[in-house]
Amino acid sequence: MRKAVTLFLLLISIAVLAACGGEATDAGGKLRVVSTTGQIHDAVLNIAGDRVTAMGLLGPGIDPHLYVATEGDVSTFAEADIIFYNGLFLEAQMERILEQLASSKTVVALGDAQPEAQLIAVGGGEHDPHIWNDPVLWSGVVELVRDTLMDEDPDNADFYETNAENYLAEIAATHEYVLEQVATIPEEKRVLITAHDAFGYYARAYGFEVAGLQGLSTESEASTDDVQHLAELIVSRGIPAIFVETSVPPRNIEAVQAAVSAQNFTVNIGGSLFSDALGERGHEAETYIGMLRYNTNTIVSALTGGE
């Protein structure tokens, strides 16, 4: 009930702010661009540089599935010229707010705009939202960010186009790097077990089996049966390592490790993967490309025993 009341008040705030109008661009005449996730914000920074005033809403370690917009966030949205969000119900608690804002400004649900044939269907007409874990698919998102910036700010269109071309080349090179690294893992060991199903696109792109305790969203809860079934899979397949995630509490994966130990088998926690959020400033995973490389190196090291 409290969540419903809060959402109602935030929606009222949006209506009031929209009615007030006002200039969205900053004092220097730059577009204000707000991105919900770090992955999207990183794309904006690489394409637009200092030609826009860019802000990323969700910082390191923040779970986008559970995040509820504050009144301050609504004000930030209201002051933006462009809002980019992942969509596909990743930002489930903000979806209605973002949809309402779309009536008064440029709001782009990047995932929803991707070809449906490239998305992983999960039933009920819904799709896996973790599209950044496939660099080829994510390149389509980067292109949409580029095109939106060019449309909204044609004076800087050439700048955006050149930067996007360079950034897309870096993403393509990173994709090749991941392919090369994953090839060092024996096929029978390419099983990726994490706290929730955030790596389906990564698994599809690089030939892994994938299993997560909590399904696509961290809103769901893992049961004792879920833990036991996963433990049995690990023991039967001789899987050497499982992974925690930086934006999800480790208790469920630790419970799986304990359940495996009870069956007289040892499985290591192979490290922390960046699933829904980028890393802290100064960490290798503070950028999208750095995140892909860091996750891949962590997975390869754990599943090959550092060979």
- The pTM of this model reads 0.90
- Quick one: pLDDT at residue 5? 37
- Quick one: pLDDT at residue 198? 92
CATH class of 180-304: alpha beta
- Quick one: pLDDT at residue 247? 83
- Round to whole Å and give the CA distance between 223 and 225: 5
Q: Which CATH number fits domain 2-112+120-177: 3.40.605.10, 3.40.50.300, 3.40.50.1980, 3.60.110.10?
A: 3.40.50.1980
Taking the CA atoms of the chain, what radius of gyration do you get in angstroms?
A: 20
According to DSSP, the residues that pair with 210 across neighbouring strands are 192
- Round to whole Å and give the CA distance between 75 and 72: 5
**Mind listing the pLDDT tens digit of every residue in the chain (307 residues)?**
445 434 444 554 554 445 444 445 665 789 999 999 999 999 999 999 999 999 999 999 999 999 999 999 999 999 999 999 999 999 999 999 999 999 999 999 999 999 999 999 998 999 999 999 999 999 999 999 999 999 999 999 999 999 999 999 999 999 999 999 999 999 999 999 998 889 999 999 999 999 888 666 656 667 888 899 999 999 999 999 999 998 888 898 999 999 999 999 999 999 999 999 999 999 999 999 999 999 999 999 999 986 5
Q: In terms of Cα–Cα distance, which of 78, 68, 84, 99 is closest to 36?
A: 84
- Round to whole Å and give the CA distance between 235 and 263: 8
- Round to whole Å and give the CA distance between 93 and 7: 9
* Strand ranges, E, within the chain: 31-35, 52-56, 82-85, 106-109, 121-123, 126-127, 191-194, 209-212, 241-245, 268-273
Which residue is listed with tokens 């997560």? 212
Which residue is listed with tokens 């050149």? 162
From residue 226, how far is each of 119, 123, 212, 221 by CA, in Å? 26, 20, 9, 10
- Quick one: pLDDT at residue 63? 92
Q: Do domains 2-112+120-177 and 180-304 have the same CATH topology?
A: yes
What are the domain boundaries of the chain?
2-112+120-177, 180-304
Cβ burial 234-257 (10 Å sphere, 16+ → b, else e): bbeeebbbbbbbbbbeeebbebbb
